[in-house]
Amino acid sequence: MAGGDGTEVFSEEELKLPPCKYEYLDHTADVQLHAWGDSLKEAFEQCGIAMYGYMTELETVEIKQSAIIEAEGHDLESLLYKFLDELLFLFSCEPYLICSKVTITEFKTDGEELRIKCKCYGEEFTLGKHPQGTEVKAITYSAMQIINEPEKGKCEVFVIIDI
């Protein structure tokens, strides 16, 4: 929704940041993201935030604009890979968006074509305002693990990102 001065207006619900359910694990050359949640959808969202968290200090990011991304895959791994690649792409060129919150609005994980639609909240990365963290070059399939056992309360993902 656009406000009177052209900036986006967000509801209170949209501005609320999720709790932190991710960590950075040891890897010799790169960084392994470990994210979890009550559902696989939440684990995916957390993994996205974890990646943004490596690029800057997320506390400095205000929610001022949003973007919608879509990702498709033929299995869970390729879906996660494409999802993170889309998030990285949002940051890497126009609109240079750094996000402190991502909300998956469509999460289709059955059938031939798996699909994610996601709304990403943040603002344009600005030198001086946002401390420069480390650049993420790409997402990798290396040692990627997706644990999807919601009945046991175990939804986790492990992704190595190339630094």
Partner 1 sequence: MVVRKFEEELKYMEKLNPYCWKIKKGFQPNMNVEGVFYVNSTLEKLMLDELKNACRPGMTGGFLPGVKQIANVAALPGIVGKSIGLPDVHSGYGFAIGNMAAFDMNDPNSVVSPGGVGFDINCGVRLLRTNLFENDVAPVKEQLAQSLFDHIPVGVGSKGIIPMNARDLEEALEMGMDWSLREGYVWAEDKEHCEEYGRMLNADPNKVSFRAKKRGLPQLGTLGAGNHYAEIQVVDEIYDKWAACKMGIEEKGQVCVMIHSGSRGFGHQVATDALVQMEKAMSRDKIETNDRQLACARINSQEGQDYLKSMAAAANFAWVNRSSMTFLTRQAFAKQFQTTPDDLDMHVIYDVSHNIAKVEEHVVDGKLKTLLVHRKGSTRAFPPNHPLIPVDYQLTGQPVLIGGTMGTCSYVLTGTEQGMIETYGSTCHGAGRALSRAKSRRNLDYTDVLAKLEEMGISIRVASPKLVMEEAPESYKNVTDVVNTCHSAGISKKCIKLRPIAVIKG
Residues that bind partner 1 (CB under 8 A): 24-32, 34, 55-56, 74, 77-78, 81-82, 85, 89, 91-94, 96, 98, 125-127, 130-135, 137-145, 147, 156, 158, 160, 162-163
Q: How far is the CB of 52 from partner 1 (least distance, A)?
A: 11
How many Cβ atoms from other residues are within 10 Å of residue 94's Cβ?
A: 7
Residues in Cβ contact with 72 at an 8 Å cutoff, skipping those fewer than 6 apart = 79, 82, 113, 114, 115, 116
CA distance 120 to 49: 10
CA dihedral 136, 42, 123, 139 (to 10 degrees): 20
Cα torsion 140, 142, 148, 152: sign:
negative
How many Cβ atoms from other residues are within 10 Å of residue 23's Cβ?
A: 12
- Residue 78 or 103: which CB sits closer to partner 1? 78
What's the chain's length in residues? 163
- Residue 109 or 140: which CB sits closer to partner 1? 140
Q: How far is the CB of 145 from partner 1 (least distance, A)?
A: 6
- Residue 39 or 78: which CB sits closer to partner 1? 78
Q: How far is the CB of 149 from partner 1 (least distance, A)?
A: 11
Q: How far is the CB of 147 from partner 1 (least distance, A)?
A: 7
- Residue 18 or 95: which CB sits closer to partner 1? 95
- Residue 55 or 118: which CB sits closer to partner 1? 55
How many Cβ atoms from other residues are within 10 Å of residue 16's Cβ?
A: 10
